[in-house]
Amino acid sequence: GATTFGHMIASFNTNTNAWVAQYVYKRLRFLNNRYISQILALIFLAVWHGLHSGYYACFFMEFVIMNFERDIASYVSQYPRIISLLNAGPLKYIKFVVLKLYVIIFMGYSLGPFALLKLHRWWNLYVSLYFSGHVVFACWPLYAPVVKALIKTIGGERVKVDKGKQN
């Protein structure tokens, strides 16, 4: 039933995820930067797995995909009209199928280097796919303003969410 990478990551290797969250990520709070803490925790996981470049490429994709998902989900959640539209009638089933396809397609893309390990192998994979996942996820900061403007246009009135509380 997973429709986001967050769902997939949360359900995979839960003991290791909990340990890294507790003993690596949370201990990096003194840096006062969630992104740096997340990057260092993912580098720790990559080193934990080994020195093959495929691990680092895989965890890089995890970082950019999770930030893409977090950013777009938090922005869409501010527009109740879009949320109600996406969860109404047959559109909720179409949304489920589209999100499921998104996870299936890009999970393979991001896990490819984890399975192939060696640079020449996973690089050829990404070249054959025209680095499509990198364009979609790593380039998100470049095209995010356009997507957010489109969401704003469709979404109508915005409800500002402040630290999990709606005003």
The residue from 7, 49, 67, 134 that is catalytic is 49
User: Hey, what's the torsion of the CAs at 39, 5, 71, 140, to 10 degrees?
Assistant: 80
The question of whether 49 is a catalytic residue gets the answer: yes
The residue from 13, 33, 87, 124 that is catalytic is 13
In what helix (H) or strand (E) does residue 165 lie, and over which residues does it extend?
strand 165-166
Q: How far is CA 134 from CA 57, 86, 98, 114, in A?
A: 11, 27, 19, 16
Q: Long-range contact list for 120-123, CB < 8 A, 24+ apart?
A: 121/54, 122/53, 122/54, 122/57
Q: Residue 160: CB partners within 8 Å, gap ≥ 6? A: 78, 166, 167
Any idea which residues carry the catalytic annotation? Answer: 13, 49
